[in-house]
Chain A
Amino acid sequence: MERRLVHTIKNKLGAIKFASSVLNKKNIPSHKKDVIINNLKEAANEAIELFEIFSEIDKFKKSTLNKEEIYIVSLLQKLTNINLNCEDKAILFDKIWLEKAFNNILTQIKEYEIMLSFKDNQLKIIFLFHNEPIYIDLAKEIFSEIGKIKEDKGKIEIIL
């Protein structure tokens, strides 16, 4: 997972290097240079975001977890401001990191729907999204410690 993130960061930086070098070409019209500059700003922000995720994963791996009883449905309700009608489940985990994991998914998704189900002591949370979340590596890293996360086109499934 981390390898994929490093690959994405390298790719992003390579593209930034290439686009910056094209800016030095004298025969590129100024309106085209503006396109490159705007893209570069966006790519630089994305690269920073990727570095932050990378750094957070690193911190998570090195941190000592402050485990406490957390009610998942209540936490998710608090983070999304959506009234979720489902039986709650408590797990023992670090609340700060769990919030970060959910936020990593939620900030990536512009429009989403949440589906919850509780069966055989398993809580299944499904996020249906209308855009492609690309940087949910932190969430994957954290949820892999406490349950399962599956990612498919238009869907992220968390089983706890």
Chain B
Amino acid sequence: MKIAVLEDEKNLNDALTIYLESEGYEVKSFYSLKEFFSSIKNYQDIDLIIGDVLLPDGNFLQELKKYPHLAQNVKVIIISAKTDIENIKKAFNIGAEDFIKKPFDYEEIILRINKIFHLKKQKITDNIYYDFNSKALIKNGKNILLTKKESKLLEVFLKNRGQILSADYLINAIWEEPVPKNTLTVLIKRIREKIGKKDIIISKRDLGYILF
């Protein structure tokens, strides 16, 4: 998912950007309306804008009105310390999906993003997530599609994280019928390759496999 952060307070903008990147999102930062509206056309694939209302060069909500196409196609979360009802009304009237009162907690941002996009993501490692809705891995903000069997196996591991699962248990959960153990080994190898970390799923001799 691609996110544009529009915030003039450098400290907040940079920290928010770094945090969102660490959560696997691709982020583009903007510090002024001029910078944002002059270059947003180059980022047609932005999914979400997280923006402050009052910037030194104008009001984001008023400017956004001039770009109805943008407001209709991209989700917007307003972050503002101006929390009077008129300001909140303006934000929602213009099509904002959510309004977050400053100061906010970093976890709150992720909760709101997930709610807006109905996302059910689970973290696998730093920068790698599994999205239960799209059955895809999100690696550094990019989607990596999994086959039906790969996603099913990864979901079994994620639901039983930290537990050793026997080969028979896994085969039964994925194929629901006996298959050669080599078939399971190949499937696990493919998942390790797609995640890009060999030791993400460990093989325990005579016991089975474990996802850390």
Q: Interface stretch among A14-22, A67-75, A139-147? A: A14-22
A18 contacts B14, CB within 8 Å?
no
Map CB proximity to A onto B98-119 as digits: 1 under 8 Å, 0 otherwise.
0000111110000000000000
Quick one: which of A56-105 are within 8 Å of B by CB? none
A15 contacts B22, CB within 8 Å?
no
A18 contacts B22, CB within 8 Å?
no
Docked CA distance A14–B15 (Å): 12
Q: Using known A-B contacts A25-B19, A36-B15, A39-B14, determine if residue A12 contacts B127 with beta carbons closer than 8 Å.
A: no
Q: Using known A-B contacts A35-B14, A36-B14, A42-B11, determine if residue A14 contacts B22 with beta carbons closer than 8 Å.
A: no
**Nearest CB of B to A24, in Å:** 9
Contact check: which of B11, B105, B106 meets A39 at CB < 8 Å? B11
Map CB proximity to A onto B5-48 as digits: 1 under 8 Å, 0 otherwise.
00001111011101101100000000000000000000000000
Q: Is B180 an interface residue (CB 8 A)?
A: no
Contact check: which of B15, B21, B56 meets A19 at CB < 8 Å? B15
Interface of B is mostly: helix
A32 contacts B126, CB within 8 Å?
no
Docked CA distance A10–B104 (Å): 12
B22 contacts A19, CB within 8 Å?
no
**Nearest CB of B to A67, in Å:** 37
Contact check: which of B15, B102, B106, B126 meets A11 at CB < 8 Å? B102
Contact check: which of B12, B18, B104 meets A32 at CB < 8 Å? B18
B residues engaging A (CB < 8 A)?
9-12, 14-16, 18-19, 21-22, 56, 81, 102-106, 126-127
The 3 closest A-B pairs by CB, nearest first: A14-B103, A19-B15, A15-B12
